Amino acid sequence: MYKKSIQAFKESLEVIPGGVNSPVRAFKSVKCDPIFFEKGLGSKLYDIDGNEYIDCVSSWGPLIFGHSDSETISAINLCSEQGTTYGAPTLIETEIAKTIIDMVPSIESVRMVNSGTEATMSAIRLARGYTNKEIIIKFAGNYHGHGDSFLIKAGSGALTLGLPDSPGVTKNIAKDTMIARFNDASSVEEILNKNTDNVAAIIVEPIAGNMGLVTPNYDFLKSLKEMSVRHQCLLIFDEVMTGFRVSAGGAQELYNVLPDITTLGKVIGGGLPVGAYGGNKKIMNFLAPKGPVYQAGTLSGNPLAMNAGLSVLKRLNLNTFKTLENISAKIYDGFINNIKETDSKAVINRVGSMMTLFFTESNSVSNFDDALNCDTDKYAKYFKNMLDLGIYLPPSQYECCFFSTALSDGDIDKIIKSNKIALKNL
Ligand SMILES: *Cc1c(COP(=O)(O)O)cnc(C)c1O
């Protein structure tokens, strides 16, 4: 069934470290060989053996409208006829900036980059330059890309592979990152009190998605905002995952808490490599060429990527989010039923179209410790069962499903029915 993929992995292992260009793709934590894909159409993915899957990952979030979305594809095609890059200003950059500013409540000015990692790295440099302070507070289990300062108790691939502290990150860099507990404001206050006048920023995934989905408790984000004001540091919301995904204005709109800087990625590129960071004009004008903090990019604001991104952002209206919510709620309800009927030990966290099913004995997962207590072996079996039934899930317990508007009622039925079989056969 997976013969060609198995062979393809053997070959890629010879020339690519670990056979993949991003660790979680290797399927290590689900204990099987990775699938090699050939094409995506709507809600479906097709591998090189000709197997068809209903996709519940959406390339880790970007594909709100599913694969090969016709508007995105024609935006890319039309643009490519005029060339692919000029390394000089274009009108589309101003247009996408205006669109982002209209959509994201706290952003008045925005800089485009090429990945989420680049956005977060640049955001903390800006925060440090602006405040003239050095320490960054981050949360255990939050992932902000692979910048040195963030690979300390990080989630996502780093967590999946059990490399919370990567070799190559120097002690000197690590000492400027302090770790607090997600959903525990007092752990932040403690660090702020011990490091008066030297904390540049608190960076947080407002809805954590890289230890599996973990929602913020009531008032957690508001407390962070209040502390950042009182201690004169900046609050950075890393909305690379949640931006344009949980609502048009991201988690900050959903929870009504406005950060000083927001980082964006994933959806913003409509499937092409894009990131961005933005905030109020006073902070953003601290960037070169207007201000002293340097940050640049040869392909930043690339016209193909801007056109792809804009074609998606333009269509993110209330209807889109209603559709996503309906689809996701149906899947959630079906899974909850299946968990009961099969007497499985599992809980599900969900915000809109982001969702994680955790295999755990406890009745909630609300922080990193809870997440670490999950049964990852069981997840591995569940993942494989679902894969064999034609449902593609994230290949790790510590990631989210991302649903797209391309999922039909038939797809949803099949996902729910397969979930029941997969749970029964654990
Ligand atoms: C995916 C992600 C990143 C990193 O983005 P890349 O484009 O993979 O570099 C950063 N922060 C969060 C919250 C993410 O989910």
Nearest atom within ligand 1 for CA of residue 142: 13
Give the model's pLDDT for residue 35. Answer: 98
**Could you list the active site residues?**
143, 238, 266
Nearest 5 degrees, angle CA 78-CA 52-CA 398? 90
Pocket mutation for ligand 1, best pick of 24, 113, 118, 144 (most atoms within 8 Å of C-beta):
144
- The residue with tokens 């952003």 is 107
Give the model's pLDDT for residue 218. Answer: 85
3-64+317-425 belongs to which CATH class?
alpha beta
Give the pair of three-digit tokens for residue 419.
């979930």
In the chain, list all ranges with CATH 3.90.1150.10: 3-64+317-425
Give me the tens of pLDDT residue by residue for the chain, a chain 426 residues long: 999 999 999 999 999 999 999 999 999 999 999 999 999 999 999 999 999 999 999 999 999 999 999 999 999 999 999 999 999 999 999 999 999 999 999 999 999 999 999 999 999 999 999 999 999 999 999 999 999 999 887 766 666 554 556 888 888 888 899 999 999 999 999 999 999 899 999 999 999 999 999 999 989 999 999 999 999 999 999 999 999 999 999 999 999 999 999 999 999 999 999 999 999 999 999 999 999 999 999 999 999 999 999 999 999 999 999 999 999 999 999 999 999 999 999 999 999 999 999 999 999 999 999 999 999 999 999 999 999 999 999 999 999 999 999 999 999 999 999 999 999 999
- Which one, of 392, 381, 396, 399, lies nearest residue 415 by Cα? 392
R_g (Cα) of the chain, nearest Å? 21
C-beta 62 within 6 A of ligand 1: no
Give the pair of three-digit tokens for residue 77.
């095609």
Q: What angle, 0 to 180 degrees and rounded to 10, lies between the N-to-C axes of helices 70-80 and 303-313?
A: 150
Coil/strand/helix, residue 323? helix
Rounded to the nearest angstrom, the distance between the alpha carbon of 370 and the centre of ligand 1 is 22
Rounded to the nearest angstrom, the distance between the alpha carbon of 116 and the centre of ligand 1 is 4
C-alpha 247/C-alpha 36 separation (Å) is 31
C-beta 120 within 6 A of ligand 1: yes
With 0-12 / 13-18 / 19 or more C-beta atoms within 10 angstroms meaning exposed / middle / buried, residue 286 is: middle
C-beta 259 within 6 A of ligand 1: no
70-313 belongs to which CATH class?
alpha beta
Rounded to the nearest angstrom, the distance between the alpha carbon of 52 and the centre of ligand 1 is 27
Bridge-based pairing state of the strands 109-113 and 52-55: unpaired
In the chain, list all ranges with CATH 3.40.640.10: 70-313
Rounded to the nearest angstrom, the distance between the alpha carbon of 11 and the centre of ligand 1 is 28
C-beta 145 within 6 A of ligand 1: yes
Give the model's pLDDT for residue 342. Answer: 98
Rounded to the nearest angstrom, the distance between the alpha carbon of 182 and the centre of ligand 1 is 18
What is the residue with the minimal CA distance to atom 5 of ligand 1? 116
- Which one, of 240, 278, 274, lies nearest residue 259 by Cα? 278
C-beta 276 within 6 A of ligand 1: no
* Residues in contact with 354: Cβ distance below 8 Å, sequence separation at least 6, in sequence order: 61, 207, 209, 213, 241, 242, 245, 246, 400, 401, 402
Pocket mutation for ligand 1, best pick of 58, 120, 213, 262 (most atoms within 8 Å of C-beta):
120
